[in-house]
């Protein structure tokens, strides 16, 4: 992503600074937005969190770093996918994967 910096010094926050994980999350969300977002299993496998936490985090990233998705229409579509997925957690109907405790 041009203009975005994957990480910043501790305690420093700017609209243009995202962690590498945040960049990965936004890339994943953009890639899967045309299909209603990735399914819970793909999200868990990719990020180790539930789809609900993922979409909450993407919403937060969009609000705090709007320049990370510079196209307003694309940002609006991503926000709509997040809102929909938070209301309807997994369109595949599969239960969210559970972490294994060893």
SS3 28: helix
pLDDT, tens digit, 9 for 90 and up, residues 70-93:
999 999 999 999 999 999 876 555
The pLDDT value given to residue 13: 42
pLDDT of residue 5: 40
Angle made by CA atoms 84, 86, 87, in degrees to the nearest 5? 65
Give me the mean pLDDT over the 37-65 stretch.
Answer: 95
| Contact partners, residue 56, CB within 8 Å, separation at least 6 | 82, 86
Q: What 3-state DSSP class applies to 53?
A: helix
């Amino acid at each position: 992503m041009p203009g975005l910096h994957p990480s910043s010094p501790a305690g420093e926050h700017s609209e243009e600074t995202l962690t590498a994980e945040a960049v990965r999350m936004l890339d994943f969300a953009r890639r899967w937005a045309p299909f209603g977002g990735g399914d819970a299993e793909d999200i868990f496998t990719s990020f180790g969190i539930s789809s609900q936490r993922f979409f909450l985090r993407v919403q937060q990233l969009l609000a705090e770093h709007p320049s990370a998705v510079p196209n307003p229409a694309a940002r609006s579509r991503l926000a709509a996918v997040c809102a929909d997925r938070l209301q309807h957690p997994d369109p595949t109907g599969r239960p969210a994967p559970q972490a294994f405790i060893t």
